[in-house]
Amino acid sequence: MIEIVINSNYCKGCSICIDFCPRDVLQPSKEINAKGYTLPEVVNIEACTQCQLCEIVCPDLAIAVTPKNK
Ligand code: SF4
Ligand code: SF4
């Protein structure tokens, strides 16, 4: 099982992770962080291939893809 963790303190809501995900796993959420940025949310974890592209392209190191229970 894969877990995608978004650090709400680091995220600036740029949506790059959403745009680059080849499987449409992420989308903008209704959640706003303390700085006023819209956070992404995971909507389709079953489709995630753990390619880590979202993690690589995030300019703020705000998203991490990890196997669960590790
Ligand atoms: S690891 Fe790959 S497939 Fe999974 S959410 Fe990130 S970009 Fe999308
Ligand atoms: S790429 Fe990073 S900073 Fe931009 S929305 Fe995604 S998690 Fe937030």
Query: What's the CA gap between 50 and 66, in Å, rounded?
Result: 8
And the tokens for 8? 């709400």
Choose the CATH number for 2-67 among 3.30.465.10, 2.40.50.100, 3.30.2270.10, 3.30.70.20.
3.30.70.20
* Bigger pLDDT: 10 vs 70: 10
pLDDT in tens, 2-55: 999 999 999 999 999 999 999 999 999 999 999 999 999 999 999 999 999 999
Could you identify the atom of ligand 1 that is nearest to the CA of residue 17?
Answer: 7
Q: Where do the structural domains in the chain lie, given as residue ranges?
A: 2-67
Confirm or reject: Cβ of 62 under 6 Å from ligand 2: yes
Query: What's the CA gap between 21 and 63, in Å, rounded?
Result: 12
Query: What's the CA gap between 66 and 23, in Å, rounded?
Result: 17
pLDDT value at position 67? 85
Return all residues near 5 (Cβ < 8 A) that are at least 6 apart: 63, 64, 66
Return all residues near 53 (Cβ < 8 A) that are at least 6 apart: 20, 21, 22
